[in-house]
Structure 1
């Protein structure tokens, strides 16, 4: 879902990539298990029941205290930010709901990150999107929602975070929006889309799922190795110890292949491939592999697991996943992004 995401401090991107000869090709490209749209599939602590949508109704004349009470009925966006005020502003017959939060420093430290976790949260934007959707579904007159988060003084030189949502953009992006209020299945599917890791930060040297072959070559130059497997082109960069493969496939009869999988095989010394993980606040300790325990502590329970691989759905689509494959000791030996091609093709 689209929204205007304003953070005064730019996220640091790790730009060093492993661009040396590579002889290995990745294996983790089988179609992943499909998941349905039933509300039981939605994470329990982030799901708001369809039957209670009317409880989120806010009168245009409601005061700040009443609005805060309504907003507090919804799932918490993040455990370390607290709602401090809610203001409904009217201008030219357009209503903007402004939700003002503050970050709790002590609770944010519980994440175990040395930097402010708000800036690399894997769930902030997607859960803020669902908060906005719920309020707009319950209140047809709200045209925009702004979420403002103040940063504690213990994080010096950090500016507040502001996320702005516009109703027309949300409606244009998803055909489900206009049906969700009247149809529970559409409601569940719409919320499920954003009950996921935020996809906007998941890329490898700016290449995301759906990128074209031209995009890949422009960003990464020609691959060290190029071959094909099961209708996919495979571009691999790196050496035997540290390599990344991009799987490209022509979809729906198009002549232009797009990236359908990005698979990173890291080494302990690798920092290039860690860009994808850095942007969601998930990095291994210095000189160590990333571990299954650390992944689960940060991302919580995966959507499902298969063949020593955990899959976390990402917000770019109901068929898109962030995955981690573990060795016998629980270290991450591969990770990346994958699109469930079988289900994606069936949904066309």
Structure 2
């Protein structure tokens, strides 16, 4: 201790009193006298409070004094690093775009047909594992991506033709949803049987470069997801202004009545499932390229993410895209604040909170010819 903390007794003080001097008086804010016969306990001395102000984390010449007295001030909060903020924004945009693509693919069947396909994630998991196997064998990236897209579309068509189609139009609207859960388990085991449960390395589809926007470096995955979202949005808007779009609205509202009027319900449903598988495969391939791995276990997580984003969006396609961006932002913030292992729990807590506060989501589905 550079300065001595001491107690002295002056001749002009009253008998039986000690006065605090030196650094101890300035640190504790105690003025005046203490009883002579009472032992001095510095840990019981309360510091002077200064509302609205914070003290430096390590005040000069006070470390030893703070250790001796147990008195410490309120430390100033550490400033947020601009580099950490920029990296968090970049991760939020990347994950938001990827989750938005997956959410749009999942919501397509619900928005256009009124059906929730819970086997969606496992079709994407199957497709990405096939793609990783093909790339490991051939080192041909375009072929691997084409295999992923074709596998996702084929699996989606099988789910529609064998599982959902025979139950469509029945009185029980819950039966197709439960059937898709069984289809998800079948697809997952079909992936695990030949390829195992270990994750396989996945190549960066759009390269490893980045584009600097202001002070934020965005990787090519985020840009690819943004371009695909724009294409899907334009195609959807164009579709719902045409005859097939109006037919899809009729199928969603009344499948039996639409079939009686001559609308090919099974064919339209097959188109919807194939397009949903295609969009979901694009998002799944970009997500696998973003994390550099693909595995059968990712299917359920993809379904959970897409379902959460769809609930946040209220069941519409545009709302699902917005919900995916919101969920990706929450995921990125959670990875910084509480760690990546709790990021999914953070998103689910946000989902429960939203359901309690706004059960219809941020955008309620409207019965009209627009998505």
Q: TM-score, normalised by structure 1?
A: 0.25
Larger relative contact order (Cα-Cα within 8 Å, sequence gap ≥ 6): 2
- What is the TM-score of this pair, normalised by structure 2? 0.24
Relative to its length, the structure with more helix (as a share) is 2
More strand by share: 1
